[in-house]
Structure 1
Amino acid sequence: MADTDQQTADTAADKEPLTLPDESPEALYALLADRGWGDGLPIVAPTRARVDAMLAGYTGDPDEVIGTLAPRLGEATPRILAVNAVMAGCPADLLPVLVAAVRGLVAPEFNLRGVNSTTHPVSAMVLVHGEAVERHGFNAGTGTLGPGNRANATLGRAVRFVMMHVAGGTAKGHDGGGLGDAATQGQPSKYTFCFAENTAASPWPAYPRSLGIDAPSAVTVAGMENPHNFHDMESRDPAGILDKAATVMATFGTNNAVVSDAEYFVVLGPEHAATIAGAGWARQDVQSYLFEKARRPAGDFRAHFQSNLWRPWMKALRDDDLQPMTDHPENIRVLVSGGPGKQSFVVPSWGRTRSVTVPVA
């Protein structure tokens, strides 16, 4: 049989429904493991009835090709996303939010091929904004990044399934073709990495508004490391809080230290945000302050990195000049999430990736 004929036959076989020997969870688990699917945790069987129920609330074309996902170049359609959403345990009304997130993944600036294939443990951070937070029951308050909320947990897991099953981002390619996730060690957020903006507790406009997106609901996806918490129980002024954030940003251990347009998400707890805004600081003031404070001597950068992607003006700095961790204040993304407590966190990006914010249709 010719190669093209074999590929056609293989594709047709992949589209045939799979039959289990019995309805036990163990049988499903064994089938998925044999085909290299799933994340190692129990999965909801994507039966035709469950997938149809997931599609029932979606108003668009279920077979629209949203994009091809690298490195496997699998085609993502709402129907295929519905299958992965069911497997992840998503509520049936969550598909439009997942579709928006995947539209972000396929944007060229996200660089899905790089995010999926690098040896760095980058994960896809998913951030939900606006009316969708309350409508779908996302937790934007206490423990927003922790366990216990179905919408947060399953949406992040569904995005990861799409990156694995459609894009081929698996740690060990089932087909032996060498595709997929080459992360040396990985990170826990590769299971699920989803939280919500706490707009009600924010002293500033919702994050999408800062990007010129005036939509009732939106989703941001970004290729990021794990979050790094910082706390400040005592400061009564913005500088005391933000100086600590700057020390988290100004480290050479992050992959984006060699990339001049690197992004940082600075996610402030409501109490820290209230202290900062109470002093009259706008979001732009926070960005500008951190841009000035998160710096290291240019000579130290050069001592640690020979290969880099810095702007020419950065390369022209003298050794004792302070070099910023990123080349523009707008690369420092500031928003509010979480509940009571004087805790906040910083999330560094992987490097050659840009966050993408997409309205939820």
Structure 2
Amino acid sequence: MFQYLILIQPLGFLYGSAGRFLSPENLVGRSGTSFPPSAATLSGIFAAQWQTAAHKEKLENLQLAGPFWAEESDVQNFYVATPFNCLVKDQIIQHILTWQGEKWLLPSGEKPPNDKFSTGSWVGIKDWEHLQGKGEIKPKVKTKNPWKFLPHLHPRLRENERHVNTDAADHQGSLFLENAVQLDPETCLVYLSNEEIPEGWYRFGGEGHLVEIRCEAIAEPAKTLLAQPLQRSFALITPAIWGSNRLSYREPKVNRRNEWQSVWYGTDSNPKSMLTQRSQPMRFRLGNCKDGPPNQAKLLSRGRYAVPPGTVYIVDQPLNKTWQEWPKDWFPTEGYSFKRWGCGLSLSLDWAVSEPLT
């Protein structure tokens, strides 16, 4: 079970680039930007701290999830992705769609209005209980991210000298672009963890940027929401990667008799309903091989496509399980199970479906 909030406050800039270094012939401004850092980045800090044999069991049982963010004045009300069945306009959830029969409709049974609504918004965890689709309370949301990108060029140095690399033979050029990120000083990044980490300054992400990390115990209502069993409808609050190391699916599947079968639906069935958006690419770096040289570059994981946070699932039968009780064979394994990084962490949305069991 998650017990702590890991709060990260940058001491300056953070790193927001996930693409290749750029050459003079390929100066693409925002290509490959990726922020906030995934939970796998935070996992690397724990691994660096727990290198002794005494910490081996704690490292193997480490459980993280994120990323989220919060205002420094109220870190317990951290912000998660707004479910996609919530229609946001003017920083307020104007309408909440429910699954009725074979369509997503308003609670009154009418079709949603033909209007422009905001995307990519965040809702406070304390307002999750107000997302009832009944209209009594319309929670406010955050439609703007509390960070901004500040791309700037850096000189590429020679490997053995602190001089700019001007050797044309390596075909790399002498510059690379860093997509630095400036976080609002009144906010911080938030991750969930089942283990505590000593407070202090750490190097977090690429380019060795420094951050201050501190921990707090998870309080209500997040503690209750995370322990609430999921029923017929629920929403992702972290990216989800399902399938094998080579295949990505929109739902968890397991390999039975050389055939990938859904764990939520019948073999030949599709999801009862799924409200989602375009998938997002994800990849991370693994540690060095045990028998490799000390200066060996870290291994780059296989590129994957993740179901974005905010996706709403409707299933035929209640799962009656919390996310922590989902078996590890639902998740791919690459170095570690993707469940270690909070893949597919979900919160219940019992109000999103208004039809009887089939």
Q: TM (normalized to structure 1)?
A: 0.20
Q: TM (normalized to structure 2)?
A: 0.20
